[in-house]
């Protein structure tokens, strides 16, 4: 089945909506926890609860995407996200309920992005894979840019955004996302995974040369973004910045990630996949280290922009690469392995570096994250430059 431009446009709208929800709700969850008198370390636990569903259920969810199709996976994800937003609206004054909402949000995001990424991989040809995932990444970053703007909705104070209103807007976006999910048609799927067991297929994918390096690099990079989002409110709390400044930092981070992803195809052709991957991660580590210093608000926004530009390159490259090397019928499973590795980093690392918050505050957490990115760059050096050789793909998008 050929997937037309309408299907691709719906997918991009869907991708933007889930990111608007995630990047609006997650800082709001942190603010809501702080308003309840929670300790800074509990923000790391909140982040870990968000990552937990994908860590435990990613492989089965990947099988679901391969067997029942991308649309049904996205429908399941939309329902879970709507439930998370509704729970936060109704019971946002309870820390356990905020944790539960974070779990539902993570579960919904897992099903949603697995369906989206498998869809993009299905409709892109090998020589356009980086560009296709770059456009998808642009839609993701667009949503990530809009989402934090919910923190400046009317009804809040200089130090505390209107979290209940944020959760309500997120609920409306989730319902719209559900409608878009129902309009998307899944591409045809090879039957390989239906014949092969999940664990056998997973072993085959994991044995691909360079895949472990890509998984480690991607997980550490995404964990650094996750830590940045979770601890941005603590920067404002520690240094006396308003919610407007924190919102500007988050918008700058995602906005410049969006810019870099627009040019991903050209950058990959000019530098090569591995060189671009390693250099972008090293640059993001250098910029993130700047948050250790006590700088004025404008400088922090500028650093967030530089970090966003550099860190925005890694994820689309690893998505494209993994999509290209996945055996027929296992693309969703391969993407789920990537997601599981990402969530392992998001589960363990925020809690680990969160212990620094009590001693060194947000500056110490972000400084440790920059060191973590250096390790990610070292792992990224093991990713082959051109996994697309010999890859077979469906016809290009009509």
- What's phi and psi for 155, nearest 5 deg? 110, -10
Going from N- to C-terminal start, the domains of the chain cover 5-186+197-380
Q: What is the pLDDT of residue 226?
A: 78
Q: What is the pLDDT of residue 105?
A: 94
Report how far apart, in Å, the C-alpha atoms of 396 and of each of 124, 135, 269, 271, 297 are.
Answer: 6, 14, 19, 24, 45
Q: What is the pLDDT of residue 179?
A: 95
DSSP calls for 234-297: HHHHHHT--HHHHHHHHHHHHHHHHHHHHTHHHHHHHH-HHHHHHHHHHHHHHHHHGGGS---H
Nearest to 15 by CA among 258, 259, 274, 236: 258
Burial classification of residue 126, based on how many CB atoms lie within 10 Å of its CB (0-12 exposed, 13-18 middle, 19 or more buried): middle
Query: 0.75 cut: is pTM over it?
Result: no
Q: What is the pLDDT of residue 188?
A: 63
- The CA-to-CA distance between both ends of the chain, in Å, stands at 11
Nearest to 73 by CA among 54, 90, 88, 91: 54
Report how far apart, in Å, the C-alpha atoms of 198 and of each of 60, 115, 208, 341 are.
Answer: 8, 17, 16, 17
- What's phi and psi for 219, nearest 5 deg? -65, -40
Counting DSSP H helices and E strands in the chain, the numbers are 15, 0
pLDDT tens for each residue of 220-237: 888 888 788 878 887 877
* Low-confidence stretches of the chain (pLDDT beneath 50): 1-2, 192-194, 388-398
For 5-186+197-380, CATH number out of 3.30.390.50, 3.40.50.720, 1.20.1250.20, 3.40.30.10 equals 1.20.1250.20
Region of 300 (left: φ > 0; alpha: ψ -120 to 50; beta: rest) is: alpha
Q: What is the pLDDT of residue 201?
A: 63
């Amino acid at each position: 089945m050929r997937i037309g431009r309408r299907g691709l446009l719906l997918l991009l709208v869907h991708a933007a909506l889930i990111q608007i929800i995630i990047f609006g709700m997650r800082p709001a969850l942190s603010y809501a926890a702080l308003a309840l008198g929670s300790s800074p370390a509990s923000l790391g636990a909140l982040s870990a609860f968000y990552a937990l569903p994908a860590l435990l259920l990613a492989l089965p969810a990947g099988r679901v995407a391969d067997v029942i199709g991308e649309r049904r996976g996205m429908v399941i994800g939309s329902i879970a996200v709507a439930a998370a937003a509704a729970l936060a609206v109704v019971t946002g004054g309870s820390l356990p309920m905020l944790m539960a909402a974070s779990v539902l949000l993570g579960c919904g995001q897992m099903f949603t992005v697995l369906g989206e990424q498998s869809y993009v991989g299905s409709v892109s040809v090998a020589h356009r894979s980086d560009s296709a995932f770059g456009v998808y990444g642009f839609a993701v970053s667009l949503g990530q840019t809009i989402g934090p703007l919910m923190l400046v909705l009317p009804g809040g104070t200089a130090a505390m955004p209107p979290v209940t209103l944020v959760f309500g807007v997120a609920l409306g976006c989730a319902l719209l996302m559900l409608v878009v999910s129902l309009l998307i048609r899944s591409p045809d799927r090879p039957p390989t995974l239906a014949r092969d067991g999940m664990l056998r297929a997973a072993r085959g994918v994991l044995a691909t040369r360079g895949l472990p390096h890509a998984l480690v690099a991607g997980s550490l990079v995404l964990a650094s973004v996750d830590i940045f989002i979770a601890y941005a409110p603590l920067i404002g709390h520690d240094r006396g910045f308003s919610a407007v400044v924190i919102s500007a930092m988050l918008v700058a981070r995602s906005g410049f990630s969006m810019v870099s992803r627009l040019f991903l195809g050209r950058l990959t052709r000019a530098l090569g996949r591995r060189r671009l991957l390693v250099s972008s991660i090293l640059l993001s580590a250098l910029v993130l280290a700047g948050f250790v210093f006590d700088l004025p608000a404008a400088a922090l926004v500028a650093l967030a922009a530089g970090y966003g530009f550099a860190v925005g390159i890694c994820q689309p490259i690893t998505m494209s690469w993994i999509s290209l090397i996945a055996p027929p019928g296992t693309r969703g499973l391969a993407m789920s392995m990537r997601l599981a590795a990402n969530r392992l980093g998001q589960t363990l690392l925020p809690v680990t570096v969160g212990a620094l918050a009590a001693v060194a505050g947000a500056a110490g957490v972000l400084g440790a994250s920059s060191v973590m990115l250096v390790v990610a760059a070292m792992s990224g050096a093991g990713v082959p430059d051109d996994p697309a050789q010999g890859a077979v793909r469906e016809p290009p998008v009509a």
